[in-house]
Amino acid sequence: MGKYTLPDLPYAYDALEPHIDAETMEVHHRKHHQTYIDKLNAAMEGESLSEKTVEELLEDYANLPERIQKPVRNHGGGHANHSMFWKILTPNPEDTEPRGPLGSAVEMQYGSFSQLKEVFKQTAVNHFGSGWAWIVIAAGERKTKDQKKLLVLSLPNQDSPVMGGHTPILGLDLWEHAYYLKYQNRRPDYIDAFWNVVNWKQVEDNYGNVEDVAIKTGMFKGRVLER
């Protein structure tokens, strides 16, 4: 068995019904996510860099040996993206929109949460083929609590925003395996349903924890963080 392992889902496979169906959740977690992990482990076997977390590998993607770049991008990205996806979903959302510092940032940048949702939906609907839609803290904008600039973007395949220096706080899987059983070609309906099961508490934490993560992983390499 390799180093990278499948995280448990924090809820049952049928917990997100009717918004995301049980069969999709089970195949998605048990088969799709597991396959990314198996292929990542196979590629990293015997590599000294296998000591690193998948996020560390993705952050340093440009400097990786060429032989592991593609597997880290595809399977490492797949592992990181899905691990986050399970965590930002919940059958029992405490809230229907972001509050606290994240809520303020949304209001300041987008005017309102419904406008952010509209930008996100357009981005996700217009993304061609497989990939993910993201809300990230934009690269280089993480210095202080007041300067965490949000950005909505989509990326192809399993490309991680981390590869571009962004900090993902919310992601939506746009691969057909994530919605086809229930929604077939109706990606817009899947996107609308997604908002019913977003764990805003976790997304707010992802937004608020950026400085801690940055310090822990040495991303700022000696730069003093303002508080």
Contact footprint for Mn ion (CB under 5 A) = 173, 175, 178
Q: Which is nearer to Mn ion, 113 or 175 (CB)?
A: 175
Q: Which is nearer to Mn ion, 72 or 178 (CB)?
A: 178
Output the CA–CA distances (angstroms, integers) from residue 13 to 33, 96, 201, in the order listed.
14, 22, 21
Measured CA to CA in angstroms, residue 101 lies from 80, 173, 179, 204 at distances of 25, 25, 31, 8
Using the minimum distance from each CB to Mn ion, give the nearer residue, 64 or 178: 178
Question: Judged by CB, which is closer to Mn ion: 102, or 172?
Answer: 172
In whole angstroms, give the CA distance from residue 100 to residue 183. 33
- Structural element, H or E, at residue 188: helix 187-194
d(CA 199, CA 82): 15
Number of Cβ within 10 Å of residue 223's Cβ equals 9
Least distance to Mn ion, CB of residue 78, Å: 7
Name the β-bridge partners of 216.
Answer: none
Q: How far is the CB of 198 from Mn ion (least distance, A)?
A: 17
3-state class (DSSP) for residue 133 = strand
Residue with the closest Cβ to Mn ion?
173
Output the smallest distance, CB 110 to Mn ion, in A. 27
Q: Are the C-beta atoms of 66 and 30 separated by less than 8 Å?
A: no
**Packing angle, helices 113-126 and 100-110, rounded to 10:** 70
For Mn ion, the closer CB: 175 or 195: 175
Q: Quick check: bond before 18 cis, omega within 30? A: yes
Nearer to Mn ion, 110 or 175 (CB): 175
Closest approach, Cβ 203 to Mn ion, in A, equals 18
Smallest distance from the beta carbon of 36 to Mn ion, in angstroms? 8
- CB 156, min distance to Mn ion, A: 13
